[in-house]
Chain A
Amino acid sequence: MRSAACLILIAALAPVLCAQEGLSVEVKPIVEGKAEPGKEYTLNLEFTVPDGYHAYHKDNPGYSQPVKVTWKELSGLELIKETWPEPKKHKDDFSEEWELSGVFKIGYTFKVPADAKGKLTVSGKHETQFCDENGCMQSESEFSTTIEVGAATPETPPAKEELPVVKISAAFDGDVTPGSDATLKVTYSFTKGYHLYAKDNPGFGLAPEVEFPELSGLKLKDQKWPEAKKHEIEADWIEWEYQDTFTVTYTFSVPKDSKSELALAGKAEVQICDEDACHMRTVEFKATLKVKPAKDEGARNTRRDGLMSVAAGAPLPMLLQEGGVKPTAKVSARLKAPGQPGGKLKMDVIFTLPSGFHAYHKDNEAQGGSGGPPKIEFTELGGFTLSEVIWPEGTKVDYPDSPSELELPERFTLTYIFDVAPDAYGPAHLKAKYSLVICDEACYFDSGEFDVHTHVFHGDFDKALARSIKEDKPLLVDFNGLNCGPCRRMEATVFVLPEVEELFEDYVIVSIMNDINNPTYDALWEKYKPSPSAGVPYYAVMDHDAKVVRGIASTLPAEKRGHEFIDFLKGPQEQPPVQPTVDAPTDAPVAQPEPSNPAESSGWPEGLYGPPTEPVQQGFDFEARFSTDKIKPGGEVTLELHFKLKKNPAGEPYHLHHPQTPSKFCVPLDVTLKESGGLEPVGEWEYPAWTEHYDDVLDEMNYYMLGEVVVVHKFKVPADAKPGAIRAYGLVSGQYCDDKGCIQFNRDKADMLDRKFGWVAGIEVSAEGADNATTSASSTGGGGKVSKPEVEPETESGAPDGIIWFLLAAFGAGIITLLTPCVLPVLPLTIGFFVSQHDKGKSSLLTAFIYCTCIVATFTLFGLITSIALGATGAQNIATNGYVNVLLGVMFLVFALSFLGLFELRVPTFMTQWFNKKQIDAQKEGHGYAKAFFSGAAFSLISFSCTGPIAGTFLAQAATGSVWVPTAAMMAFSSGMALPIFVMGQFPSLMKKMPKSGGWMNAMKVVFGFIEIGLAVMYFSAAEQAFRSIEAAEWVSRYVVISVWAASSLACAVYLFGFFRMPHDHEETKQIGVVRSIIAIAFLAFGIYMVPGMFGAKYGNVLEGILPPPPREGGIQLALGNGEGKKYDHHDLPWNKDFEAGMAEAKAKNKPVFLDFTGFN
């Protein structure tokens, strides 16, 4: 899986670029309304967490600490309830965290004392841990506010209630168990003489509209309204009215994980009316649902039978439901807090039981229950001593006919606390076996193992520093937090990597934990934190003076942390710069660049970024050299840049991206030449073959270069070159990647925006050298494509995909051809022929196969001949050949006229007759298969007047110089025709499903005719461009093409709508079918769409790829052509076609050169 891996570096930059000062969580008390003596008052605290971070819910099962509010002053208020918002449950393999982010409110409900008056001051403080995926921070602040005590609801005394009054009382029907259904009864009572309306009332009155702003996880399943009185006011006017108290019943499903009490709040918008008027009332109501732990009375006895004490340790019987799968518990252990020497190590053992199951508390048997508790037996203690096990509280469940049991819920945690020896240090393993009994209506025994791998680091900074000096190792300081999920994640996933453990041995490591028991944390963190807003974890390597040498916060996504952390532990690698292969630059006065920067005076040329350093050398070894050491003047030599790609720590190979990669996200390898030292460059950089790799995540194709990648450039040594050493140099940029991510080449992290390194290679020009020594680009990683330097690389890289689509389109066109009037009426005869052959004992499979193969063969042959003929005219590329374009244009025009009904194109009759005769002869002689062959060929020829133009369209598109593309296009096209015939030959009943012949088939021809007109004009435009060698056609310009397109598209739409008929249309269009009108609308839309193009509008990539470019109006051509009566054509200017000749002329005349890079197309 490679996430948007190539973008990782950009993401990594973000924290550096936008380090914000002092992130914190803001708290604001929101005072609404007045507190009424003797009643409840709710104060909301509004928390604002910085973007990208989250705080945690009070019931968070993960590592992070929930928001903590402590009250300082309450002025007699008594806190009775907290209302927390629903958290986002963020769960992964490692832990589950209940997150609160952005702005959220926690409601604190107080009981207001009966004697309260005046203003009540409330103050307190919050301590909030907030984290992103990389680290956690702590924020705390104080808040204070005053709440006014008001008279007992003077605003809404019941006496002043306006008539009519609606009251709602709501209550749940009894208690429920999790996973079952709860029934809520909502009773409406209202002033006599008025009425309410029922749900789905057919009259005008509105039924009460009920919402549930608070549901505590309940899900509404159903609602039932009682029958109302059907009040007939007039004929056909009936109102369903409730004229007296009524009750609506709602059914909710109770979530399986719900506990004790669920609060529900409802709000009803009620319309209440009498004969004269209607009034709207908003009524709120509340109800509480009591949830009892799930029980199944009927299964009592089975459960009893299955109960067993695991403590007995004897082989235990297992109860298995018949044919069922044994339910098992998921047991995992994780460290809540890693241990420090002399301190405590806390480990959570988390039990997750199947839904509906429970286990038993350790005190269950003592209190008279029969279920035994889970047992955990440590087989390896890692040098720790178990000191305490903390059990959660059990729930006592009463059973009517057996002793009550102290039970543990579906998910519970046992916390094991170990003492850590004062001299402990290094990696440690804890291993344990567990066994437990889990029950729903029956009981099952389950057992297994778990293990935990941890490290004990020093806890005392000064002692650790002293030891690091004594052992002459650097000090690694691990700043972490007690309730820091990201810290634990690093410890559990990265610290345990074998490579990391090995590197740990080179350090003395001290863990400084942000914990109330560690007073030194604050002082050390204050001193060493990398930025005011930094969070933990933060890892710092310190020297013996306790100065930070380098530090790292885990700023990368989890998958990358391993690499980054290993690189960090390894530290910068002191590598000698790559030496140019020239040993003695002193005797090389030729083209020796002067080092201007003293820092680069070590012989490294100016303007280069220096040799590849640490991050590059993680991914590959680099070497730049010439193909030979010595070369004769006049010889040719190849410069080779070798990238020997390595493997990542997981053993997967790294790769580079080919420069022609179609990827939008990945940075390809780019090599440049800055100085050739007097050598003449020949050609371009040559890159080796690439391997195609489709990236599912980025949804794009990538071109990989793997193994030892050699990029080359040829040079010619000038014949008059003086003997001596020559040095060439340049730059390399790009990124190397594994499947998880990419690392860009960069010399050091401070210089991240210019990620390059330099290359230098030397060669000696000498009479004794080789005459020629050229090599070519290569890679050892295999490759699918050989890349050539292309003038237009886009077309090359897009081609394979394009051809597939093109062939698919040809195939589709073949299927459509079946529906034309030359083919469809013949089909029943053909299929009938297959059937008759079958009746005569011939295999209809074979008959149909021969018939269809013959069709395919005919067309493929046609394609082959055409492309060879085209190739013979020397038209390598039809885009540049005017004659071919004119020919195609004329061809399409002829096709168009034929389709529109001016005449009918036919294959010469002698050909069809010959095949027909052959076919009849074969039949007479009883050669069924031979007849199949000849009738297949005859079919191809007879149908030519319809298929020819369509096939021709594809042939023209495919005529790009290659013989195989048109041939393949014809094969695809004819397969599209033949395949349905073949299938219908096997299943003749399918024939009935074919559309019936009719006038619509002629309509299809006409539609094709209009399309062919559009194609014809396009080729004429291209022909003009090619003949006149101009950039854009001026006579048959873009605007002519667009207006012809618009016109024929609109005409086609009008035709399809039946406004006029063509010569060969026999019947009048009386009724327009759905399909026909949709097609008509499509043409109409396209015609309208093309209109803005006539006024200069641009279209999308697909259309612009087909349309000719606009003439360069307003540019030089138009400007020159508009002289006062005099024609200024830039072709009349004395343009030099030869660059060198032009330069020589400029030197001679001492004039500047005006250089125009242009093109024929």
Chain B
Amino acid sequence: MPEPAIFESLRDDFVLIAQYTDDQDDDKPAQVFQRYKPKGGSIPVYMVLDTDGRVLAELGWPADKPNMTKEEYLAFMKEGLAKFRALK
């Protein structure tokens, strides 16, 4: 699958939120991070949430694996979308 699929899916299927947890001027992202307490606790971490803020899928960045593959990434996105559609 070509990478543009990821780009387009992100653009069209999701509302995107980026939280810079080390933002010096704003401590809200850090609070959001604490609220969700992702497994492993290190960034980057990607999550798919439903409209009420519940976690549908989570993709962390394990310390022992520097690079995640795009297949993993796609699988994660698909899982999130599938769960979201199942909720409706």
Please list the residues of chain A having a beta carbon within 8 angstroms of any beta carbon in chain B: 684, 791, 876-877, 880, 1031, 1096, 1098, 1110, 1112-1116, 1119-1120, 1122-1124, 1126, 1128, 1130, 1133-1139, 1142-1143, 1145-1147, 1149-1161
User: Bound complex: CA of A880 vs CA of B25, how far in Å?
Assistant: 12
Pairwise interchain contact B19-A791, C-beta atoms closer than 8 A:
no
Interface string of B10-36 (1 = CB under 8 A from A): 110111111111111000111011101
User: Bound complex: CA of A1136 vs CA of B21, how far in Å?
Assistant: 14
Chain A residues near B44 (CB-CB < 8 A): 1031, 1112, 1156-1159
Chain A residues near B4 (CB-CB < 8 A): 1123-1124, 1126, 1128
User: Bound complex: CA of A1159 vs CA of B51, how far in Å?
Assistant: 24
Which 4 A-B residue pairings sit nearest by Cβ, starting from the closest?
Answer: A1142-B17, A1154-B14, A1153-B49, A1152-B84
Query: Which of B11, B16, B32, B53 is most buried by chain A, counting CB atoms within 10 A of its CB?
Result: B16
Pairwise interchain contact A1119-B67, C-beta atoms closer than 8 A:
no
Interface footprint category on B: 35 or more
Given contacts A1133-B10, A1152-B81, contact A1115 B22 (CB under 8 A): no
Pairwise interchain contact A1114-B21, C-beta atoms closer than 8 A:
no
Pairwise interchain contact A1155-B49, C-beta atoms closer than 8 A:
yes
Extra pairs beyond A1155-B46, A1155-B48 (17, CB < 8 Å): A684-B34, A1098-B66, A1116-B6, A1119-B73, A1139-B29, A1143-B49, A1151-B51, A1152-B13, A1152-B49, A1153-B15, A1153-B49, A1153-B51, A1156-B18, A1156-B19, A1157-B36, A1159-B44, A1160-B23
Chain A residues near B20 (CB-CB < 8 A): 1137, 1158-1160
Pairwise interchain contact A1160-B10, C-beta atoms closer than 8 A:
no
User: Bound complex: CA of A843 vs CA of B21, how far in Å?
Assistant: 61
Pairwise interchain contact A1120-B22, C-beta atoms closer than 8 A:
no
Identify the closest chain B residue to A1129 (Cβ): B7
13 cross-chain CB contacts under 8 A: A1124-B4, A1138-B28, A1139-B28, A1142-B15, A1145-B15, A1149-B15, A1152-B13, A1152-B56, A1156-B17, A1156-B44, A1157-B43, A1159-B20, A1160-B22
Q: How far is the CB of A791 from chain B (nearest CB, A)?
A: 6
User: Bound complex: CA of A1150 vs CA of B36, how far in Å?
Assistant: 21
Pairwise interchain contact A1133-B47, C-beta atoms closer than 8 A:
no
Identify whether the interface residues of A are mostly helix, strand, loop, or mixed.
Answer: loop
Which residue of the partner chain, among B53, B66, B73, B84, contacts A1116 with CB atoms under 8 Å? B73
Chain A residues near B14 (CB-CB < 8 A): 1151-1154
Chain B residues near A877 (CB-CB < 8 A): 24
Given contacts A1114-B67, A1114-B69, contact A1136 B15 (CB under 8 A): yes
Identify the closest chain A residue to B11 (Cβ): A1133
Chain B residues near A1156 (CB-CB < 8 A): 16-19, 44-46
Please list the residues of chain B having a beta carbon within 8 angstroms of any beta carbon in chain A: 2-4, 6-7, 10-11, 13-24, 28-30, 32-34, 36, 38, 43-51, 53, 56, 66-70, 73, 77, 80-81, 84, 88
Identify the closest chain A residue to B32 (Cβ): A1139
Identify the closest chain B residue to A1134 (Cβ): B16
Pairwise interchain contact A1154-B16, C-beta atoms closer than 8 A:
yes
Query: Number of residue pairs across A and B with beta carbons under 8 Å?
Result: 162
User: Bound complex: CA of A1120 vs CA of B46, how far in Å?
Assistant: 16
User: Bound complex: CA of A1110 vs CA of B49, how far in Å?
Assistant: 29
Q: How far is the CB of A1053 from chain B (nearest CB, A)?
A: 29
Q: How far is the CB of B28 from chain A (nearest CB, A)?
A: 6
Pairwise interchain contact B7-A1142, C-beta atoms closer than 8 A:
no
Which residue of the partner chain, among B6, B15, B68, B70, contacts A1152 with CB atoms under 8 Å? B15
User: Bound complex: CA of A1130 vs CA of B16, how far in Å?
Assistant: 11
Pairwise interchain contact B3-A1158, C-beta atoms closer than 8 A:
no
Q: How far is the CB of A1121 from chain B (nearest CB, A)?
A: 8
Pairwise interchain contact B17-A1135, C-beta atoms closer than 8 A:
yes
Chain A residues near B24 (CB-CB < 8 A): 876-877, 880
Which residue of the partner chain, among A1123, A1145, A1149, A1151, contacts B3 with CB atoms under 8 Å? A1123
Given contacts A876-B24, A1152-B48, A1157-B43, contact A1119 B6 (CB under 8 A): yes
Pairwise interchain contact B73-A1142, C-beta atoms closer than 8 A:
no
Given contacts A876-B24, A1147-B51, A1149-B15, contact A1154 B80 (CB under 8 A): yes
Pairwise interchain contact B23-A1155, C-beta atoms closer than 8 A:
no
Pairwise interchain contact A1146-B51, C-beta atoms closer than 8 A:
yes
Chain A residues near B53 (CB-CB < 8 A): 1143, 1153
Identify the closest chain B residue to A1122 (Cβ): B3
Pairwise interchain contact A1135-B51, C-beta atoms closer than 8 A:
no
User: Bound complex: CA of A1153 vs CA of B3, how far in Å?
Assistant: 20
Chain A residues near B88 (CB-CB < 8 A): 1150
User: Bound complex: CA of A1031 vs CA of B50, how far in Å?
Assistant: 27
User: Bound complex: CA of A877 vs CA of B24, how far in Å?
Assistant: 10
User: Bound complex: CA of A1134 vs CA of B79, how far in Å?
Assistant: 22
Pairwise interchain contact A1158-B73, C-beta atoms closer than 8 A:
no
Given contacts A1119-B73, A1152-B48, contact A1159 B16 (CB under 8 A): no
Pairwise interchain contact A1152-B67, C-beta atoms closer than 8 A:
no
Q: How far is the CB of A1110 from chain B (nearest CB, A)?
A: 6
Identify the closest chain B residue to A1123 (Cβ): B4
Q: How far is the CB of B8 from chain A (nearest CB, A)?
A: 9
User: Bound complex: CA of A1154 vs CA of B10, how far in Å?
Assistant: 8
User: Bound complex: CA of A1116 vs CA of B30, how far in Å?
Assistant: 22
User: Bound complex: CA of A1154 vs CA of B7, how far in Å?
Assistant: 12
Identify the closest chain A residue to B81 (Cβ): A1152
Identify the closest chain B residue to A1119 (Cβ): B3
Identify the closest chain A residue to B64 (Cβ): A1098
User: Bound complex: CA of A1147 vs CA of B50, how far in Å?
Assistant: 9
Q: How far is the CB of B2 from chain A (nearest CB, A)?
A: 7
Pairwise interchain contact B73-A791, C-beta atoms closer than 8 A:
no
Chain A residues near B13 (CB-CB < 8 A): 1151-1152
Q: How far is the CB of B43 from chain A (nearest CB, A)?
A: 5
Given contacts A1114-B69, A1152-B84, contact A1157 B45 (CB under 8 A): yes
User: Bound complex: CA of A876 vs CA of B24, how far in Å?
Assistant: 10
Which residue of the partner chain, among A1098, A1154, A1161, contacts B48 with CB atoms under 8 Å? A1154
User: Bound complex: CA of A1143 vs CA of B14, how far in Å?
Assistant: 11
Pairwise interchain contact A1136-B17, C-beta atoms closer than 8 A:
yes
Identify the closest chain A residue to B26 (Cβ): A1137
Pairwise interchain contact B19-A1158, C-beta atoms closer than 8 A:
yes
Q: How far is the CB of A899 from chain B (nearest CB, A)?
A: 35
Q: How far is the CB of A1141 from chain B (nearest CB, A)?
A: 8
Q: How far is the CB of A302 from chain B (nearest CB, A)?
A: 77
Q: How far is the CB of A883 from chain B (nearest CB, A)?
A: 15
Chain B residues near A1138 (CB-CB < 8 A): 17, 28
Chain B residues near A1133 (CB-CB < 8 A): 7, 10-11, 16
Q: How far is the CB of B5 from chain A (nearest CB, A)?
A: 10
Pairwise interchain contact A1153-B21, C-beta atoms closer than 8 A:
no
User: Bound complex: CA of A1142 vs CA of B15, how far in Å?
Assistant: 7
Pairwise interchain contact B67-A1113, C-beta atoms closer than 8 A:
yes
Query: Which of B20, B46, B68 is most buried by chain A, counting CB atoms within 10 A of its CB?
Result: B20
Identify the closest chain B residue to A1126 (Cβ): B4
Query: Which of A791, A1147, A1152 is most buried by chain B, counting CB atoms within 10 A of its CB?
Result: A1152
User: Bound complex: CA of A565 vs CA of B14, how far in Å?
Assistant: 61
Pairwise interchain contact B3-A1128, C-beta atoms closer than 8 A:
yes
Chain B residues near A1128 (CB-CB < 8 A): 3-4, 7
User: Bound complex: CA of A791 vs CA of B18, how far in Å?
Assistant: 17
Chain B residues near A1154 (CB-CB < 8 A): 10, 14-17, 46-48, 77, 80
Q: How far is the CB of B85 from chain A (nearest CB, A)?
A: 9
